[in-house]
Structure 1
Amino acid sequence: MTDHDGYDDAARERIVEEPPKRVDAPVRTPFERDRARVVHAAASRRLAAKTQVVGPQSDDFVRNRLTHSLEVAQVARDLSRALGSQPDIAETAALAHDLGHPPFGHNGERVLAEVARACGGFEGNAQTLRLLTRLEAKTDGAGLNLTRATLDACTKYPWRVTDAGADGKFGVYDDDLPVFDWMRRGAVGTRKCLEAQVMDLADDVAYSVHDVEDGIVAGRVDLTALDTGAVWQVVRDWYLPGADDDVLDATLAGLREVGSWPSAPYDGSRRSLAALKNLTSDLIGRFCGAVQHATFAASDGPFVRYAADLLVPDQARLEMAVLKGIAAHYVMRTDDRIALMERQRELLRELVETLVTRGPDALDRPFADDWADAPDDAARLRVVLDQVASLTDQSAVTWHRRLC
């Protein structure tokens, strides 16, 4: 059976069948219920104290993982609605896409990936699936018990660690394969559903635009005085290995033609803040508009699940990579940032080692119970990683100070 919105009974199915809601309960679609479950999850609240680019304690203005996720959700919802797909699915996927990230952002993720080799690795997106289907308490044995369509939309990398590319990205641990296989029923190979593609694009758009905005307000980025040689090297190192200077120069020239691109340095005034917000809005509209037009030109749809794909023009990818390179060079590669990241990595390594040694007496009750049920050392290491990944930046520091 297929409903008028293009989502059939299989898309609405949950891991554990749920009884009908009370007759006096608000009438909501299954996908609206999914969104509410993610919004009310404890893991969502913890994102407010997790690093996006700069630590959340460093400045009142900079984005944390929660504010970033809210902005990604807004972009995803608008684009999904414009395409005619179910906006609640794309928005929920965007709200959930960073739930599995550990303390200290991608820096912490890299540390946990190194120490997790004995139990199959660690990856923020695989941890998100684990959290949604196992760790976050709503339905016993099924996590938040989300619908198949929503879970699938949350999966940015629908493959195992053995199929990961050079970037090491993957979306499921081996002991979560049963629910992953259930979720991917009807999918072909490693193809992402349309809603996951929307979430991924929204994340890229928000990441590329907002990190530059944060860098400008922090006084680290001046768009009127860029060292393009250094920035282009970062773009090649991190995002586009084969891009040459002429292509990147032309891409930046195109961005400078955006009417709100600054002609004077940011000075902190309300006028300057308003101009910066206009630039942010214009760039988001530029990228989403280009993707919408290209997608409509490539297919007649419907733009749901596996009936179509999102098409991102090469020019939009280039422009987002240039913006990411600007933020990376002026914010993430500074000497003070590099020194801080090394201290964070050392802290997480020591915390994992201590928790493995101390065992259940040092873990929160849910993870101590998981430890008791773990059949071997690899499973117990996974429990420790689940515990550490659940911590915020500050609680990781506090736990380290108390235990190490």
Structure 2
Amino acid sequence: MLKPYATQPEDSRGRAYPEAMSTFRSPFQRDRDRIIHSSAFRRLKHKTQVFIEHEGDYYRTRLTHSIEVAQVARTLAAALGLNTDLAEAIALAHDLGHPPFGHTGEDALCALMAPYGGFDHNAQALRIVTRLERHYADFDGLNLTWETLEGIAKHNGPVTDAGGHPLKGEVLPYALAECNAGFDLELSGYASAEAQVAAIADDIAYNHHDLHDGLRSGLFTEDDLMELPITGPAFAEVDKRYPGLEPMRRRHEALRRVFGVMVEDVLLVAGTRLGPADLHSAQDIRDLGLTIIRFSDRLFRELKVIRHFLFTRMYRAPSVIEMRSKVTAMVEDLFPLFMARPDLLPPEWRLDMDIAKDETALARIVADYVAGMTDRFAIQEHARLLGAPDR
């Protein structure tokens, strides 16, 4: 049974292109299924998190990360009496807009696209699900419900102030502005509880798996984690309960406890906040004017310590920095090449070029193409068109 403040399927604000209701799926189940079957979702298999996709078979990719986020989101939503299907759909879609090479690729595209309206992976995810997926006869995109689109746009909180001015950056990313112009997502407000669940599930998943991937990579050791909050007590608990446990099992047992600490903290905070609140609809959650699904202040402070550790020991490790430099150069080479030689794009993309009115329109098409590349395809295309990088 859903709580009164959960998003009710029958109360959905609908789709940009009206469709008949499915006889056996709710609107949000339908959204989830369309996301899973999209080309962009499949490409996440070969897009990186921290390590470049080909560096190891055990490191997380955007696809495995998205699946883990969706699992956490469903768990949290079910425990809180929220709509699990909507939370799952938003979680599965939240990283669709990431370019190749993770945040490194995004930083490069942001700089390249600065003269043309900027680049933002959340906005690009909306562009994908409203325009770039072209499989259906009646519309471009996936024609997702308003609630799912709102969650993609605002799962991290409001995007603009009440006057429509961006809260981050000088201008609203063009992909977000275009989507919002056609289907008002109320960017100055907070999103549903389900969208907030998807956002915190993202934090839980990457806090957990970045520790795991960092250990596997050898950039730090379990002894290092014994000195940190949350992870230190988790390893100590495992050592007390299972003295002499073999290293891989010890690591797994400790990190699953870290995972559990984060989930239980979110549920405790949400229960404390939701319980006494006078909430009768999903809109009441939005109207609270704050994020209600969040970590406690204490755990948030402890997680900041862990994130600082990961930043210095993992994200800025010399080997990672070296690879960041190489892949940044690839993006910086490919983008201007396609701008100067759009004839090098695949035929289906050249059709869009034919209707590009100016350099800005051309740049946005090139950005769509480059952002859609997987790590391996970007590397292959760079080698094919420009040769192996010498930087």
> What TM-score comes out, normalization by structure 1 length?
0.82
CA contact (8 A) 2:9 2:27 kept: no
Residue 143 of structure 1: aligned partner? 141
Task: Write the letter of the residue equivalent to 2:147.
Answer: A
Q: What is the distance in 1 between the residues matched to 2:116 and 2:187? A: 28
Q: Equivalents in 2 of 1:219, 1:50: separation in Å? A: 21
Q: What is the distance in 1 between the residues matched to 2:133 and 2:208?
A: 31
Aligned match for 1:92, one of 82, 85, 89:
89
* CA positional deviation for 1:297: 1.1
Task: Assess if the C-alpha contact under 8 Å between 1:101 and 1:109 holds in 2.
Answer: yes
C-alpha deviations, 1:133-182, integer Å up to 9, x for none?
111124454401111111112223553696143xx599x63355353255
Q: Which residue of 2 aligns with 1:376?
A: 358
Corresponding residue to 1:154 among 152, 162, 175:
152
1:325 and 2:308 correspond = yes
Moved more, 304-313 or 139-148: 304-313
* Secondary structure in 1 matching 2:333: helix
The question of 1:297 aligning with 2:295 is answered no
Quote how far apart the aligned CAs of 1:226 are: 5.8
Q: CA deviation at 1:319?
A: 2.5
* Partner residue, 2:68: 71
For 2:12, the equivalent position in structure 1 comes to 11
Give the 3-state SS of the residue equivalent to 2:55 in structure 1: coil
Aligned counterpart for 2:234 among listed residues 258, 264, 278: 258
Work out whether 1:390 is the aligned partner of 2:372. yes
How far apart are 1:369 and its partner, in Å? 2.0
1:29 is matched with: 26
Q: Structure 1 pair 113/162, CA: closer, same or farther in 2 (3 Å)? A: farther
The separation in 2 between residues aligned to 1:53 and 1:261, in whole angstroms, is: 29
Matched, 1:82 2:79: yes
CA 169–200 in structure 1, closer or farther in 2 if over 3 Å, else same: farther
Query: Is contact 2:3-2:81 (8 Å) kept?
Result: no
Mapping of residues 230-309 of structure 1, within 5 Å: 252-253=228-229, 255-258=231-234, 271-300=246-275, 305-308=282-285, 309=292
Task: Give the partner amino acid of 2:205.
Answer: A
Contact 2:214 2:314 in 1 (8 A): yes
- Decide which moves more: 31-40 or 286-295: 286-295
Deviates more, 1:207-216 or 1:306-315: 306-315
Q: Does 1:356 align with 2:354?
A: no
User: How far, CA to CA, are the matches of 1:303 and 1:344 in structure 2?
Assistant: 49
Assess, with a 3 A threshold, how the Cα gap between structure 1 residues 8 and 99 changes in structure 2: closer, same or farther.
closer
Per-residue deviation, 1:12: 4.8
Q: Distance in 1 between matches of 2:100 and 2:337?
A: 17
More displaced 10-residue stretch of structure 1: 347-356 or 320-329: 320-329
Structure 1: unaligned runs, 5 residues or longer: 229-251
CA distance in 2, matches of 1:72, 1:330: 24
Give 1:399 deviation, angstroms: 1.3
Question: Could you say what secondary structure the match of 1:71 adopts?
Answer: helix
In structure 2, what residue type is equivalent to 1:396?
A
Query: What per-residue deviation string (whole Å, max 9, x for no partner) do you get for residues 347-397 of structure 1?
Result: 1011000000111x2223342222222221101100000000000011111
User: What SS class does the counterpart of residue 370 from structure 1 fall into?
Assistant: helix
Matched residue, 1:344: 327
Q: Aligned residue for 1:310?
A: 293
Please report how far the alpha carbon of residue 73 of structure 1 lies from its aligned counterpart in structure 2 after TM superposition. Answer: 0.8
Secondary structure of 1:53 counterpart? coil
Identity %: 33
By how many angstroms is 1:8 displaced?
6.0
Measure the CA separation in 2 of the matches of 1:78 and 1:386.
33
Residues 280-301 of structure 1: CA deviation (Å, up to 9, x unaligned) = 2222221121111112212236
Name the SS of the counterpart of 2:222 in structure 1: coil
**Cα distance change on mapping 1:175 and 1:54 into 2, 3 Å:** closer
Cross-structure match for 1:134: 131
SS of the counterpart of 2:86? helix
Q: 1:285 to 1:374 in 2, by over 3 A?
A: same
Contact 1:16-1:142 within 8 A present in 2 as well: no
Pairwise CA RMSD:
2.9
The 3 A distance-change label for structure 1 pair 132 and 169 is farther
Tell me, yes or no, if the aligned pair for 2:230 and 2:258 is still in contact at 8 Å.
Answer: no
The secondary structure found in structure 2 opposite 1:225 is: helix
**Corresponding residue for 2:40?**
43
For residue 383 of structure 1, what is the amino acid of its counterpart? I
User: How far apart in 2 are the matches of 1:41 and 1:52?
Assistant: 20
* Structure 2 residue matching 1:224: 3-state secondary structure: helix
Q: Comparing 347-356 with 304-313, which one deviates more in the overlay? A: 304-313
The Cα of 1:306 is off from its aligned counterpart by: 3.6
Preserved contact between residue 119 and residue 378 of structure 1 (Cα < 8 Å) = yes
- Deviation for aligned residue 1:87: 0.7
Query: TM-score under structure 2 normalisation?
Result: 0.85
